Amino acid sequence: MHKFGTVALVGPPNAGKSTLMNRYLGQKVAIVSPRPQTTRNRISGILTTDDAQVVFLDTPGIHQLRGKMNRFLLESAWNALAGCDAVVVLVDAALYAAKPSLLKKELKPLAGPVAEAGRPVLVAVNKIDRVKDKPTMLPVMAALGELWPEAEFIPVSALRGKGTEELLARILDIIPEGPPMFPEDQISTAPVRFMAAEIIREKLFYSLRQELPYSTAVEIEAWDETSRPGLALVNAVIYTAQKNHKGMIIGKQGANLKRIGSEARKEIAELLGGKVHLELWVKVRSGWTEDPGFLRAMGLGE
Ligand code: GDP
Ligand code: MG
């Protein structure tokens, strides 16, 4: 018997959705960030075992959303719910144990749509490694039980891998029988170029101390795996909306961009299983203020 199913991962930003998916895949597919809302597009990861294939949909974070961009994020999340075989709601238990008032505020907007999807719900009570005072979990569990009376609750630490096998076992129980839909070596439905751009964006988020506006975009301008055997030549541009952010991203004497580039290159190389030459540029979207000479001088250009 072989099983096949899709599972939507939903939950507020920062709950650990991307961390959980990456853990199951044993590889980085979705970007993980200490800042919310970095997953702008839906990313799916494909887990293939001997007798099952599970497609995980990592949805953008959902919270009190305003504005056009956020409406788009929400829609994307609801679409993921519509067609899945099971919903895994991820919640940051450590956060709610410490700040109980946040729980309803963050999770109530999710409860209705999740229930409406009419799919089996597993609530992954995440970050239990950070809950030091266990009794603080009691009100959290009670409140979660009120929000999802029909759900199963599984305490996990996506980061440390605690409880994640139990959660996966429940997922495998729930999903229907069916043949695999993807080749066994495919780990995502997203193209590698897109994943490479996401990796660069992750390094960018991590590298900046200041609040980075979400108006930053990464575009892969050139992708050449054929000119030089065994070496992928990748050109990427980081676009930023504001002029002063460009300097922040590049850093003193190009140091920040250089670090972003070298960290991203390593990970893209892992993703491709080969060597990568990465050129990174920063451009302000409104107006051309790029300085290729400077970047080249920093060893970041050609
Ligand atoms: P997402 O926005 O829901 O996709 O959340 P991420 O997967 O990007 O994780 C947000 C942050 O929480 C990252 O800094 C993760 O390392 C951290 N995190 C995720 N799961 C756990 C966990 O089980 N324990 C701890 N301590 N941190 C976690
Ligand atoms: Mg994420």
Domain spans, the chain: 3-174, 192-297
**Does position 293 have pLDDT exceeding 50, yes or no?**
no
Mean pLDDT to the nearest integer, 214-233:
82
Q: Which of 95, 159, 167 to mutate to test the pocket of ligand 1 (most atoms within 8 A of CB)?
A: 159
Q: Closest Cα partner for 61 from 97, 84, 23, 92? A: 92
Ligand 1 binding pocket (C-beta < 6 A) is 11, 13-19, 32-34, 36, 39, 61, 126-127, 129-130, 157-159
Q: Is the model more confident about 146 or about 42?
A: 146
**Does position 73 have pLDDT exceeding 60, yes or no?**
no
3-174 CATH fold: Rossmann fold (3.40.50)
Q: In CATH terms, are 3-174 and 192-297 the same topology?
A: no
* Confidence class for position 33, pLDDT limits 50, 70, 90: low
Element at 16 (helix H, strand E):
none
Q: Tell how many helices (H) and how many strands (E) occur in the chain.
A: 10, 9
Residue 68's pLDDT is: 47
For ligand 1, the distance from its centroid to the CA atom of residue 90, given in whole angstroms, is 10
Q: Is the model more confident about 199 or about 77?
A: 199
Q: Closest Cα partner for 1 from 35, 44, 51, 60? A: 51
- Tell the residue number behind the tokens 């980061």, with chain if given: 159
* Confidence class for position 178, pLDDT limits 50, 70, 90: very high
Mean pLDDT to the nearest integer, 209-230:
74
For the CA of 12, the closest atom of ligand 1 is 3
Residue 287's pLDDT is: 38
Q: Whose CA is closest to atom 25 on ligand 1?
A: 127
Mean pLDDT to the nearest integer, 85-89:
95
Q: Whose CA is closest to atom 8 on ligand 1?
A: 32
Residue 72's pLDDT is: 52
Architecture of 192-297 per CATH?
A: 2-Layer Sandwich (3.30)
For the CA of 20, the closest atom of ligand 1 is 7
**Does position 162 have pLDDT exceeding 70, yes or no?**
yes
Q: Closest Cα partner for 45 from 77, 68, 22? A: 22
For ligand 2, the distance from its centroid to the CA atom of residue 293, given in whole angstroms, is 36
For ligand 2, the distance from its centroid to the CA atom of residue 60, given in whole angstroms, is 6
Mean pLDDT to the nearest integer, 58-82:
57
Q: Which of 18, 19, 126, 154 to mutate to test the pocket of ligand 1 (most atoms within 8 A of CB)?
A: 19
Measured over all CA atoms, what is the biggest interatomic distance in the chain, rounded to whole angstroms?
61
The whole-angstrom separation of Cα 83 and Cα 290 is 44
Q: Whose CA is closest to atom 2 on ligand 1?
A: 14
Residue 76's pLDDT is: 59
Q: CB neighbours of 186 closer than 8 A, spacing ≥ 6?
A: 46, 48
For ligand 1, the distance from its centroid to the CA atom of residue 34, given in whole angstroms, is 7
The whole-angstrom separation of Cα 173 and Cα 176 is 8
For the CA of 58, the closest atom of ligand 1 is 4
